[in-house]
Amino acid sequence: MRRPLEPIYTFTVPSLHDDTALNCRLYHPNALEEPKTPLSEAEAIWRTRGVVMAHPYAPMGGSYDDRVVSIVIEEFLEAGWIVGTFNFRYDL
């Protein structure tokens, strides 16, 4: 069994139109866990790659905790990409 993904940074973006908050998470590849000087090739590459991952349709139960979303995030991280996710709805 794979270990659960742990975001590096979580934050909330307030709505401009109502009281709904947008929950967000940022993940980065393992190559960035121990900074080195000068930058390794893996660290230099991540600076040019990023993806924003959306989840399945929220009214049908989708969220950024969806297992398929986690699998896709893991694949991007393994390939050296920084990944951002957000939840289309606020979790109470």
The pLDDT tens digits of the residues spanning 6-57 come to 888 888 888 777 877 888 888 887 766 655 566 667 666 656 688 888 888 7
Q: Which residues pair with 21 in a beta bridge?
A: 14
Helices and strands of the chain, counted as H and E runs: 2, 4
Distance of alpha carbon 50 from the chain centroid: 10
Spatial separation of the C-alpha atoms in residues 89 and 63, rounded to whole Å: 8
Task: Please answer whether residues 50 and 82 qualify as being in contact, where contact means their C-beta atoms are separated by less than 8 angstroms.
Answer: yes
Task: Please answer whether residues 68 and 10 qualify as being in contact, where contact means their C-beta atoms are separated by less than 8 angstroms.
Answer: no
pTM here is 0.64
